[in-house]
């Protein structure tokens, strides 16, 4: 393979058999259970990077079922998103994500900088309850429950909230393990069609784990819960802050 062939072909690893195709990526019947809870403010300050700013000490714990996604297939993920502002604009900082499929782990980390790790999340209906679980290896680290479709939500309000930007800390190491890329990345969900949205009573338990530290943002009070079914496109990102540039310290 010639040098020019490498340059014209390369977009992901491995070179001759990439782990995922090029985007954009469309999701059909993507299902969310989002449990919003109050946590410790000092714990939030310890994990949210500047120049993002936190307001209330709030975390959104998410279980997301994705049965039909372009290039990534059928998988489930779970993790924490922290409401933040960036230059006065509201959004969410994606703090942790755990999922059960190699392609979106590789693509999410390499393209956008999603903090994805391999685990075993699940979102299912048990009789009258929407149930989310997350296991890391053989150990349970999260349990979420919500009354199934108790009260409908205004679909336009939900869609507007989903269109807010999200922020990621993308880190790619150099061969000497120093950061070669260290960027704050913004992305948005696009072409959103809300098929249903509901709220109801909810509960959430988080458990200590050395390598999946979701419990370091402890649950002090449940604020609300949302169940959403939607089609959407995951937009490609843009760099909004480069931590390695001398003029952006």
Q: Which of 116, 149, 170, 195 is catalytic?
A: 116
- Residue of 69, 51, 58, 82 lying closest to 108 (CA atoms): 69
Rounded-to-integer distance, Cα 100 and Cα 121, Å: 7
Which residue reads 């999922």 in tokens? 99
CA distances from 166 to 143, 184, 238 (A): 24, 10, 11
Residue 208 CB neighbour total at 10 angstroms: 12
CB 27 within 8 A of CB 233: yes
Our answer to whether residue 116 is catalytic in this structure is: yes
Rounded-to-integer distance, Cα 82 and Cα 85, Å: 10
Q: In sequence order, what are the residues at sequence separation of 6 or more whose Cβ sits closer than 8 angstroms to the Cβ of residue 152?
A: 196, 197, 198
Please report which helix (H) or strand (E) contains residue 168, including its range: strand 166-173
- Residues belonging to the active site: 116
């Amino acid at each position: 393979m010639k040098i020019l062939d490498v340059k014209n072909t390369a977009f992901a690893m491995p070179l001759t058999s990439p782990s995922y195709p090029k985007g954009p990526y469309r999701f059909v019947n993507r299902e969310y259970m989002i449990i919003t809870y109050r946590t410790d403010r000092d714990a939030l300050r310890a994990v949210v990077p500047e120049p993002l700013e936190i307001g209330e000490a709030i975390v959104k714990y998410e279980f997301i079922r994705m049965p039909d996604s372009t290039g990534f297939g059928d998988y489930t993920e779970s993790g924490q998103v922290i409401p933040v502002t960036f230059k006065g604009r509201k959004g969410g900082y994606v703090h942790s994500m755990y999922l059960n499929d190699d392609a979106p782990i590789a693509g999410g980390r390499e393209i956008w900088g999603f903090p994805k790790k391999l685990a075993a999340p699940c979102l299912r209906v048990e009789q009258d309850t929407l149930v989310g679980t997350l296991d890391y290896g053989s150990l349970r680290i999260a349990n979420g429950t919500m009354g199934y479709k108790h009260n409908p939500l205004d679909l336009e309000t939900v869609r507007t909230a989903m269109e807010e930007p999200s922020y990621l800390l993308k880190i790619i190491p150099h061969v000497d393990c120093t950061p070669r890329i260290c960027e704050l990345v913004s992305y948005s969900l696009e072409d959103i069609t809300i098929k249903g949205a509901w709220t109801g009573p909810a509960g959430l338990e988080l458990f200590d784990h050395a390598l999946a530290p979701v419990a370091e943002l402890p649950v002090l009070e449940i604020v609300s819960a949302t169940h959403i079914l939607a089609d959407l496109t995951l937009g490609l990102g843009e760099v909004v802050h480069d931590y390695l540039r001398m003029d952006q310290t």
